[in-house]
A and B are shown apart, each in its own frame.
Chain A
Amino acid sequence: MYKNISRLIFSPARLSRCYSAEVTSFINRNLSTEQKYNIQEEACDGRPLYLDAQATTPLDPRVLDAMLPYLTSYYGNPHSRTHAYGWESEKAVEKARAQVAELIGADPKEIVFTSGATESNNIAIKGVARFYGAKKKHVITTQTEHKCVLDSCRALEGEGYKVTYLPVGQNGIISLEELEKSITPDTSLVSIMTVNNEIGVKQPVADIGKMCKAKKVFFHTDAAQAVGKIPLDVQAMNIDLMSISGHKIYGPKGVGALYVRRRPRVRVEALQSGGGQERGLRSGTVPTPLAVGMGEACNISNREMAYDHAWMEKLSKRLLDQIYEKLPHVIRNGDPLHTYLGCINLSFAYVEGESLLMALKDVALSSGSACTSASLEPSYVLRAIGADEDLAHSSIRFGIGRFTTVEEVDYTAQKCIHHVTRLREMSPLWEMVQEGVDLKTIQWSQH
């Protein structure tokens, strides 16, 4: 019990704060009514449940089944033109390319296989900006993009490009007027993600595409979290470049794709020098088994999109209903309507996210992006949508996927309700709120 309180008090955000006498008395009172809580007694046998579908998804058995022949018998280099080993691999890669293209309404020739969405984003942003860099030196993106987009833009800034980081509203969505105002004759590229990886918010991609087309600016979208989950059509949405990831759609890790429009042509400067594979945009041998897996994953997603979507709708509603019914002061981060249902980001007020994650040991959850999960800093996405610092510290992301079951959702909801209630009961802040003290009016003395 004492440990838990000290964790609450000495959490990084509050380390520098000193509690007023009033708060100290609350803590003392809480300590005197100590009841033993032992986390070991609550620990259950077995592997944790997986509810982190935004970080990665399991490999679909059907995808593995398609890949295995190319990991065993058919090992030819798909670029070998002189023998049957090469031809059979090439045929498989081209079939996979067509499957990826079909999912997003593109032509197979417009698909470039890469090592993942990070590489796709790098090629798209740096490649387009550098190719047109002699004439245009401005790139627009948003504050809530994935780290690899932001970092690519930082790199461009180092090369003398100007980058506009658009703010987002409280719901996580950008304002189209603001975007329109930011586009100048010097702008070469707008890069805005389709579905946010932390809060699941969907940006108005079709409207952005239309605007970019009218202004003759290239539009790149990072659709790693969206492809295969929501319907996307690069023609109807006027998307010029799109990044796709394999392992977010039940495919293998280590493979991704980049859609690059051919008519009107988008020119890209390659980052990697080499044998000129993939139209010279991404040299290096295409990994046949991974490409085949990605193709099959896209094929399955295409076929099953409506079915999976209905399942996700059912489960996310079930999870939210249970949590909302039992717990007050739960805030959903991001727009509740324009969102991908498989990603639910909740802030449990007066509970520290990390302590909740520790208590929920038998459910694999995350407080945000996997890339930054080692750091205790609150997520920059939540800060960008204007979440209060204490709420940004108490957020948890629930990722529901194709293989999540009803029982898993119920188990997670029950455990979550139990631990949030328990942690709140020992929180002095919660007690003050119950007594009607407005925490915002408290003067925290600072050292």
Chain B
Amino acid sequence: MSSKLQVLSLYRLLIRESKKFPSYNFRNYALRRIRDSFKENKSLTDQIQIKQQINKGYDNLEIIKRQVLIGNLYKTDKLVIENVNFKT
């Protein structure tokens, strides 16, 4: 199915791009939100709805790309938690 492949490729693109967020909090939120969104919409069967969600995903991919760029322009020091080898 082409839509399945499209979804997988979108997922990979979103995750790969979100990992580039220099901000610890934004990076982790983006990764969590993407994974949960795909899980939420896993059971969608209506082709129109699937198409809508895919389009939304591509819009968000563009936002992430731009915001990663901006984040890299105004980087801060890393957070305490990124420097310390902290185990939960």
Chain B min CB distance to A61 (Å): 4
Q: Is A158 an interface residue (CB 8 A)?
A: no
Contacting B at CB under 8 A, from A347-380, are 362
> Which A residues are CB-close (under 8 A) to B81?
46, 49, 405, 407-408, 411
Tell me whether chain B's interface is mostly helix, strand or loop, or mixed.
helix
A46 engages B82 (CB within 8 Å): yes
How many positions in chain B have a CB within 8 Å of any CB in the partner chain? 26
Summed over the interface, the residue pairs from A and B with CB atoms below 8 Å come to a total of: 69
B63-A65 in contact (CB<8A): yes
Interface string of B64-86 (1 = CB under 8 A from A): 10110011000011111111101
B88: CB under 8 A from chain A?
yes
Question: Residue A47 at the B interface, CB < 8 A?
Answer: yes
Contacts A47-B76, A48-B80, A411-B81 given; does A402 touch B29 at CB 8 Å: yes
Q: Do B80 and A411 touch (CB < 8 A)? A: yes
Q: Decide if A65 touches B83 in the complex (CB within 8 Å).
A: no
- Considering only residues 283-320 of chain A, those with a C-beta below 8 Å from chain B are 307
Kindly state the separation between the CA atoms of A193 and B36 in the bound complex, as whole angstroms. Answer: 33
Q: Does A439 contact B (CB under 8 A)?
A: no
| Residue in A closest to B63 when the chains form the complex, CB atoms | A65
B43 CB within 8 Å of chain A: no
Most chain-A CB neighbours within 10 Å: which of B78, B80, B86? B80
Cβ-defined contact, A47 with B79, below 8 A: yes
Q: From the candidates B29, B78, B86, name the one contacting A407 in the complex (CB within 8 A).
A: B86
Least CB separation from B28: chain A residue: A405
Judging by beta carbons under 8 Å apart, are B26 and A403 in contact? yes
Contact in complex: A403, B25 (CB < 8 Å): yes
Contact yes or no, A406 B80, CB < 8 A = no
Q: Which of A400-423 contact B (CB under 8 A)?
A: 402-408, 410-411
Judge if A147 is at the interface, Cβ distance under 8 Å. no
How far apart are the CA atoms of A62 and B65 in the complex, in Å?
A: 11
Query: Which among A48, A61, A64, A408 has the greatest number of chain B C-beta atoms within 10 A?
Result: A61
The 8 Å CB contact of A411, one of B76, B78, B86, is B86
* Contact between chains at B76 and A410 (CB < 8 Å): no
B26 touches A61 (CB 8 A): yes
Q: How far apart sit A61 and B67, CA to CA, in the bound complex (Å)? A: 6
Q: In the bound complex, what is the Cα–Cα distance between A45 and B64 (angstroms)?
A: 28
Tell me the minimal C-beta distance from B80 to chain A in angstroms: 4
Residues of B within 8 A of A (CB): 21, 24-26, 28-29, 33, 36, 60, 63-64, 66-67, 70-71, 76-84, 86, 88
Interface residues of A (CB under 8 A from B): 44-50, 58, 61-62, 64-65, 68, 307, 362, 402-408, 410-411
5 cross-chain CB contacts under 8 A:
A46-B79, A58-B25, A62-B60, A403-B29, A407-B88
